[in-house]
Chain A
Amino acid sequence: DIVMTQTPLSSPVTLGQPASISCRSSQSLVHSDGNTYLSWLQQRPGQPPRLLIYKISNRFSGVPDRFSGSGAGTDFTLKISRVEAEDVGVYYCMQATHFWTFGQGTKVEIK
């Protein structure tokens, strides 16, 4: 199984300041079709997961452009350029190259 490891697990941030979450996979996420199926999900309290970014860097419909994704191979990053109050929640990286596995989650909260 592919193991996804996120850091940090908790990220207290000041409103308007940037935040960054890293995700590392235990093996390359490059699929045989040439795509890398690495996504980022946001889960607000009491809500289902919401897709933010797919295939490393593609923002999903309706996602604000303050969210961006980058990376390749086994190392990936989600960045929030300026954190807003509505960004509070838990963020998961997720791989779908070989079935699905998820990172442990990173809790983003306001300082």
Chain B
Amino acid sequence: EVQLVESGGGLIQPGGSLRLSCAASGFTVSNSYMTWVRQAPGKGLEWVSVIYSGGTTYYADSVKGRFTVSRDNSKNTLYLQMNSLRDEDTAVYYCARSLAGAVYWGQGTLVTVSA
């Protein structure tokens, strides 16, 4: 069974850094198309970043240059390093796995950027 468990969220001041983790089970992260999506309070879903099985990464313009997606194959875990955080980065962050068009979602972790 595919499971995704995010962690690492919390309260952080503007300008700070945070690293989110997404621990996967039931499949191999390094062989998968993995995505981060976020949802600001009361708002819709926003694509943040993707890492393909070959290691290529892409980012939304809103986070480019500040966020970095990576993975640790030995831990079967996906990461999102978030630097220079802004108020508008406040959101629940979800990791997701794509497989043949189907998408598996984690439960999410809340990041609050506030002074």
A-to-B contact residues, CB < 8 Å: 35, 37, 39, 41, 48-51, 54-55, 58, 60, 92, 94, 96, 99-105
Indicate if B103 sits at the interface (CB-CB under 8 A). yes
Q: How large is the interface on B (under 10, 10 to 19, 20 to 34, 35 or more residues)?
A: 10 to 19
Complex formed: what's the CA distance from A101 to B94 in Å? 14
Chain B residues with CB below 8 A from A104, complex form: 44
Residues of B near any A CB (own CB < 8 A):
35, 37, 44-47, 50, 58, 92, 94, 98, 101-108
Do B45 and A37 touch across chains, with their CB atoms under 8 A apart?
no
Interface of B is mostly: strand
Q: List 11 A-B contacts (CB under 8 A).
A: A35-B101, A37-B101, A48-B108, A49-B45, A49-B105, A54-B103, A58-B102, A92-B45, A100-B35, A102-B46, A102-B47
Which residues on A sit within 8 Å (CB–CB) of B37? Answer: 100
- Interfacial chain B residues near A39, Cβ < 8 Å: 101-103
Q: Which residues of B contact A103 (CB under 8 A)?
A: 44
C-alpha spacing A90/B93, complex, angstroms: 18
Q: Is there an interface contact between B105 and A51, defined as CB atoms closer than 8 Å? A: yes
Q: Are B94 and A99 touching (Cβ within 8 A)?
A: no
Looking at the complex, which one of A49, A54, A100 makes contact with B102 (CB distance below 8 Å)? A54
Q: Which of A49, A55, A99 contacts B50 (CB 8 A)?
A: A99
Measured in the bound complex, the distance between the Cα atoms of B44 and A20 in whole Å is 20
Least CB distance from A53 to B in Å reads 10
Q: Is A99's CB under 8 angstroms from B106's CB? A: no
